[in-house]
């Protein structure tokens, strides 16, 4: 078989994530190479994502390479993948899930959270939950990849950052984590910690069969069905976290009501084989409370 070309964003985290897939392929005796690409979302850093067109900006360039046959696979953080994935570019494998929690990071050398400065967080999901944990805290947007955000933190602009444990750990920076939020304290974004391998319809991806993690896949389907049903675009602070144990799947959703700013969480449990349906069911139930 020819070399498998893996399309990746250029950021260090994106490349490390692509290497995880590359290493798997090489361990299968396959030849795999990473091709990095600049994406619009990585280039424009002075505006928020909703101003420039949403999360899709991180994937468009990679999609084009797949469609044009310049790459065979794209590796994405599932959480950055838009809810509506084109039929001709399906997710062909889900990785085992890395730590799904969010973490608090203090500026280098600091020991305590100094709330005279804002906490840096680029997502409304994190901000609304932070408000509950630290009522006095101000939340301020911070853009850029994880390393850029850490530089901004260390230059003194923020009291702390909230980041996904998964990215921080993959970058080998777990030593900088000062607090792990439980998933109850800070419900993660749908798909957080899972990598999605995207391919092109009609190609044979059977070589990824053993890479796909059934548990992560079921969790991903439930969480994404919940968000999709609520039409949670990238700026909407809905959150969902599922835990699959064998035949059982349990999930928690967070629903934010735009008009009032109110939000609440609810849970649902059922059979793993019904993952998608459970996500939709929970979404309907939660939205119904505001109608």
- C-alpha span between 110 and 158 (Å, rounded): 12
> Shortest gap between Cβ of 150 and ligand PBG (angstroms)?
10
Strands 248-256 and 239-245: what pairing? antiparallel
3 state DSSP class of 176? helix
CA 288 to chain centre: 26
Of these, 42, 80, 219, 223, which contacts ligand PBG (CB under 6 A)? 80
Segment contacting ligand PBG (CB under 6 A): 74-82, 235-243, 267-275, 277-285? 74-82
Q: What is the dihedral of CA 285, 246, 239, 256, to 10 degrees?
A: 10
| Nearer to ligand PBG (CB atom), residue 192 or residue 281 | 192
Of these, 22, 74, 129, 192, which contacts ligand PBG (CB under 6 A)? 192
- C-alpha span between 134 and 116 (Å, rounded): 12
Q: Is 167 in the site for ligand PBG (CB under 6 A)?
A: yes
- 42, 63, 80, 102: the catalytic one is 80
The residue number with the shortest CB distance to ligand PBG is 167
| Nearer to ligand PBG (CB atom), residue 5 or residue 126 | 126
Of these, 21, 66, 153, 163, which contacts ligand PBG (CB under 6 A)? 163
| Nearer to ligand PBG (CB atom), residue 194 or residue 281 | 194
> Shortest gap between Cβ of 146 and ligand PBG (angstroms)?
5
What is the DSSP code (8-state) at residue 232? -
Instruction: Indicate the length of the chain as a whole number.
Output: 291
Q: Is 77 in the site for ligand PBG (CB under 6 A)?
A: yes
Of these, 32, 59, 92, 146, which contacts ligand PBG (CB under 6 A)? 146
| Active-site residue, 80 included | yes
Per DSSP, the residues of 140-175 read E---S-HHHHHHHHHTTS-SEEEEEHHHHHHTT-GG
Catalytic machinery residues: 80
């Amino acid at each position: 078989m020819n070399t498998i070309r893996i399309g990746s964003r250029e950021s260090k985290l994106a490349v490390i994530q692509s290497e995880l897939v590359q290493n798997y392929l090489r361990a299968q005796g396959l030849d795999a190479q990473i091709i990095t690409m600049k994406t619009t979302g990585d280039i424009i850093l002075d505006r928020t994502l909703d101003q420039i067109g949403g999360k899709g900006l991180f994937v468009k360039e990679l999609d084009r390479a797949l469609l044009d046959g310049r790459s065979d696979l794209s590796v994405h953080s599932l959480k950055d993948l838009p809810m509506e994935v084109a039929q001709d570019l399906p997710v062909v494998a889900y990785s085992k899930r890395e730590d799904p929690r969010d973490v608090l990071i203090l500026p280098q050398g600091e020991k305590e959270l100094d709330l005279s400065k804002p906490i840096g967080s680029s997502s409304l999901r994190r901000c609304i939950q932070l408000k509950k944990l630290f009522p006095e805290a101000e939340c301020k947007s911070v853009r850029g990849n994880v390393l850029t955000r850490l530089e901004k933190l260390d230059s003194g602009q923020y009291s702390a950052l909230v980041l996904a444990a998964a990215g921080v750990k993959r970058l080998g920076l777990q030593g900088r984590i000062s607090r792990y939020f439980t998933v109850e304290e800070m419900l993660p974004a749908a798909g957080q910690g899972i990598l999605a391998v995207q391919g092109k319809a009609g190609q044979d991806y059977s070589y990824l069969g053993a890479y796909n993690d059934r548990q992560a896949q079921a969790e991903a389907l439930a969480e994404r069905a919940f968000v999709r049903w609520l039409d949670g675009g990238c700026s909407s602070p809905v959150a969902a976290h599922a835990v699959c144990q064998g035949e059982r799947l349990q999930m928690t959703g967070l629903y934010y009501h735009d008009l009032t700013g109110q939000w609440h969480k609810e849970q649902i449990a059922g059979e793993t084989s019904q993952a998608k349906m459970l996500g939709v069911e929970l979404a309907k139930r939660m939205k119904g409370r505001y109608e």
